[in-house]
Chain A
């Protein structure tokens, strides 16, 4: 079931009175990938978590597939949205196969169906089911665990995928592999993806649209091409911060 996400003037204020999201309006198109950039504390994760109601906005509304998440049945809503986080949060006492099928298990689906689906998904994220299905999470590397996390998020065929710094803890080579795998997967499966990341290159590589948050406010929502060409000071300084190394290397080369 494909579905888009709409944020309508969404604000979130903590109990202590800190404003983490400040009137965000944004439409995430169906079957597209939107990357949310911004420095730590800019509200990226908070915004992401309003979609599956892990956080309730204090003002405004969030719609998934046209339905206001506030009035949706919470369990049904969450089972229809994939969720991937940097720490993976794999269940340490479940085999890999059971981890992947956990949402189907929660839905009460038959064991054969869960196993079939788990193995199918392990294959899709590049893990050989024969050798991985029965292993335990602690026996996997960080990259492999993240693949399992992704497979688990997609088990119930959600239309929406929320990803919070999914590859943030991985080394650059593994991260690049994961990005390739995700991109190939999304080309095939057409999910509506909201991807929170610090990594500009990851955003440029994976996203159809880049959103920049600053202190809870949306300062840009553009295509990657527009984003790179932008003269907006906030965007320019973000890009510059990210590519300092290249400038430095280039200027060294020039001096020699």
Chain B
């Protein structure tokens, strides 16, 4: 790519990268706030686990372009493309975080939970002192999977005008300009790799030798 290209598009790439980060970040935050409490609740009522995780599973099988399309005519949501993108990305992020929160807590040595109860830790203490710390690396692994997936899916959000790096890709495809496609694709791949690396480190740091 020539330096002229950078001069022309550098600022736009930076803006779109930030937009991309915002869309993905907001969706991850929303998905975590929904999925972690829901995953915890499911460990208290395991007979609900299968149906609830099943619904999250189905959400994930909807093709992303179709999901963006479905949300488009909805009131309030449809007014702003970014809203649609964040809601759709949140839907995709639910499953990995939910499933890992549930599995992470369910996988704790039953003897540890038994003793925590028998020694008189309150429900809240068991959750915050024992269950969440022991499940943390699992939850982060779910968040990592969700983030990497959603950084990719977020490029498609440009199809409904939500912005992000997908915009360069779509424009490049339309104008048969590979430089534009790469100007969107390379930073998007970089974001995914960075998120993967960063969350991977956090995951390792919170891992507990059982």
Whether B118 and A93, one on each chain, are in contact in the complex, defined by CB atoms closer than 8 angstroms, is: no
Given contacts A89-B111, A89-B112, A92-B112, A136 and B118 within 8 Å (CB-CB): no
Whether B120 and A78, one on each chain, are in contact in the complex, defined by CB atoms closer than 8 angstroms, is: yes
Whether B120 and A92, one on each chain, are in contact in the complex, defined by CB atoms closer than 8 angstroms, is: no
- Name the 8 nearest CB pairs between A and B, nearest first: A78-B120, A89-B115, A79-B120, A87-B111, A89-B111, A83-B118, A93-B208, A138-B209
Identify which of residues 67-117 in chain B touch chain A, using a CB-to-CB cut-off of 8 Å.
Answer: 109, 111-117
Q: Which residues of B contact A78 (CB under 8 A)?
A: 117-120
Whether A103 and B120, one on each chain, are in contact in the complex, defined by CB atoms closer than 8 angstroms, is: yes
Q: Give the interface size class of chain A.
A: 20 to 34
Whether A106 and B209, one on each chain, are in contact in the complex, defined by CB atoms closer than 8 angstroms, is: no
In the bound complex, CA of A103 to CA of B121 (Å): 7
In the bound complex, CA of A81 to CA of B120 (Å): 9
In the bound complex, CA of A106 to CA of B186 (Å): 50
26 pairs of residues in contact across A and B, judged by CB atoms under 8 Å: A54-B114, A74-B120, A76-B120, A77-B120, A83-B118, A85-B115, A87-B111, A88-B111, A89-B112, A89-B114, A89-B115, A89-B116, A90-B112, A90-B115, A91-B130, A92-B112, A92-B209, A92-B210, A93-B208, A102-B121, A102-B129, A105-B129, A106-B119, A106-B121, A136-B209, A153-B119
In the bound complex, CA of A79 to CA of B116 (Å): 10
A residues with CB within 8 A of B:
52, 54, 74-81, 83, 85, 87-93, 102-103, 105-106, 136, 138, 152-153, 162
Identify which of residues 105-162 in chain B touch chain A, using a CB-to-CB cut-off of 8 Å.
Answer: 109, 111-122, 125, 129-130, 133-134
Q: Which residues of B contact A54 (CB under 8 A)?
A: 114, 117-118
Report whether over half of chain B's contact residues are helix, strand or loop; otherwise say mixed. Answer: helix
In the bound complex, CA of A103 to CA of B118 (Å): 10
The smallest beta-carbon distance between B57 and chain A, in angstroms, is 30
Which of A102, A106, A136 is within 8 Å of B122, CB to CB?
Answer: A106
Minimal Cβ-Cβ distance residue in B for A84: B115
Whether A75 and B208, one on each chain, are in contact in the complex, defined by CB atoms closer than 8 angstroms, is: no
Q: Give the interface size class of chain B.
A: 20 to 34
In the bound complex, CA of A93 to CA of B116 (Å): 13
Whether A79 and B119, one on each chain, are in contact in the complex, defined by CB atoms closer than 8 angstroms, is: yes
In the bound complex, CA of A88 to CA of B57 (Å): 38
Instruction: Flag B152-183 by CB within 8 Å of A: 1 or 0 each.
Output: 00000000000000000000000000000000
The smallest beta-carbon distance between A107 and chain B, in angstroms, is 8
In the bound complex, CA of A153 to CA of B18 (Å): 53
* Known A54-B117, A91-B116; further 12 A-B contacts with Cβ < 8 A: A75-B122, A83-B118, A85-B111, A89-B113, A89-B115, A90-B115, A92-B109, A92-B134, A92-B208, A92-B210, A136-B209, A138-B209
In the bound complex, CA of A75 to CA of B133 (Å): 22
Which of A75, A91, A152 is within 8 Å of B112, CB to CB?
Answer: A91
In the bound complex, CA of A94 to CA of B114 (Å): 16
